[in-house]
Amino acid sequence: MLTPELHVDLDRLAQNFALFQKATFGEVSAVVKSNAYGLGLESVASRLIECGCQSMFVTSLEEAVCLRKFFDGDLYLFSTFHDHASFQEIVDLKVIPILHSNELVKLWKPFAKHPCGLAFNTGMNRLGLTLEKINPHDLLRKLNIRLVMTHLACADEPDHTLNQVQLDQFDEVTKEFVGIRSSIGNSAGTLTGLKTQGDLTRPGIGLYGGNPFSHLINPTQVVAQCQVPLMSTYGVKKGETIGYGATYTAESSLVIGVVSMGYADGIPRHAGDNLSLVFEDQLFPIVGRVSMELVTIDLSSYPTLKPGTFLEYFGRNQHVDTIAKQANTISYEVFTGIGPRVKRIYYPST
């Protein structure tokens, strides 16, 4: 059975990790949350371990359980909100939770001897503690704090004025937690330089080949290539419509290809009219609405293309950031939106 495939080049993943290692003045970790941004947690994490990665960040206990089967390094959990039972599991797994609220700090007190991290809000205004509402001395006395961290809202724009505002606020935090390791840099922050890194950097999207920056050249290697099989071809006459809602009307006779991938697999329904698939440097636009597991493309420029041929959705010929821009989103959503029916295939580069 022909199904879409996501080819993951673990050698290129390793090259990207090496890029962040070279740029980092302290330790470089890896953010492997959301199934390693959709690329596959076990395979990605295993290769990163081979590259010397000694710490990772996840967002669920399920991910932590998976990693603890083969990873004994520092494992940080971006906390959502936990109860006593889940905190006990965190302790049993030897995971380090990142506490981001006074409520979580209070809930964590029965486990205070176990290492934890603290997340501070310095301007993102999403999650995080603030110095105004805590007593740093009290926390240092009662908790085994391993890490203090913050998240830059505009790291992808290195010249944005909010970056310095956040750095100044976080500097006040680190003064209160002397001797505790700090973490600032995501992918963009890591590559921008020392002041936006902290002691521990935590690249994510850049590891997987997405551009960490909004307006700069992407310094990372393409890691993932999504390939889509052509199922059948047929002719459409001028004036005939295609797909649900008859939203597309052929302005001339066309050769249409039916491709086995749809919105359940990661092609956004709302953006179908703006997207194309690629084969041998030729673009074939999507025509008609994206269905759950099918799309139709205009093959008129290559009418002899045979069923069973794989076309590229994103990868080396059409970058994931290109797809993201056309879909009015970001590469993070494109990667993590790739559905479970899409077969993950891992290989070293040749």
Catalytically active residues, by annotation: 33, 244
- Per-position b or e across 264-301, b if 16+ CB within 10 A of its CB: bbbbbeebbeebbbbbeeeebebbbbbbebbbbbbbbe
Q: Give the Cβ contact number of residue 72 at 10 Å.
A: 10
Token pair, residue 78, equals 């971006």
User: Which distant-in-sequence residues (6+ apart) come within 8 Å of 17 by Cβ?
Assistant: 28, 30, 48, 51, 53, 203, 207
Instruction: Say if CB 49 and CB 71 are below 8 A apart.
Output: yes
d(CA 301, CA 296): 14
Please list the alpha-helical segments (H only) found in the chain: 10-23, 33-37, 41-50, 61-67, 84-92, 102-108, 136-142, 161-176, 187-192, 320-326, 331-336
- Of 143, 207, 152, the C-alpha closest to 177 is 143
